Amino acid sequence: MKIWSRLKKLSIKQLLNLGVVFIQRPLLIRPTLKATSKTMSISQKEFGSAQHKNGKPNAFRHALWNILLANVAYTKNEAAATDWAEQVTTLHEKLAPNAPLETVMDLHNNMVGRQFFSETLDLSEKELIQFLKEKSSNAKQITKVEDVERYPNELVYI
């Protein structure tokens, strides 16, 4: 599993940061791993290796991951659920840093995915995928970090 190979590469400090997040909600460790795996599986099925580039499929994957993470944390409080998704995905960006433009794009798409969470609560998996495919097909291209500010509610890609 790619998650375990990635964990092995983390420094002690990075592992401690990860531990701090998960110690707050230990019952979410397994569901978070499952949501992450499901995100990768769906994204691979829908887009193949294109999801690993910085295009629209990558925007889809980041939004989907945030929605699925919020879903596993959701009980009755949407804010707490999206907070969990934010903690996990922001930590991921810190543990696996990219170039500045890629990082801004990923963090932005994570945020937009969390915004979509409440809109997608009642959707089936098939409907959710279709919803996100439509949103990602309309993603806006950015060329510099400041560009994301022009698209506060839309997915972006490089």
Residuewise pLDDT in 10s, the chain (158 residues):
466 776 677 677 777 777 777 788 889 999 999 999 999 999 999 999 999 999 999 999 999 999 999 999 999 999 999 999 999 999 988 888 799 999 999 999 999 999 999 999 999 999 999 999 999 999 999 999 999 999 999 999 99
Residue 115 is assigned to a structural domain of this protein: yes
Domain that holds residue 81: 50-158
Whole-angstrom distance, CA of residue 151 vs CA of residue 100: 17
What's the number of domains the chain is made of?
Answer: 1
Predicted pLDDT of residue 35:
97
Residue 110 is assigned to a structural domain of this protein: yes
Residue 13 is assigned to a structural domain of this protein: no
| Interior angle at CA 29, CA 40 and CA 24, nearest 5 | 135
Q: Where are the beta strands (DSSP E) in 48-143?
A: 140-141
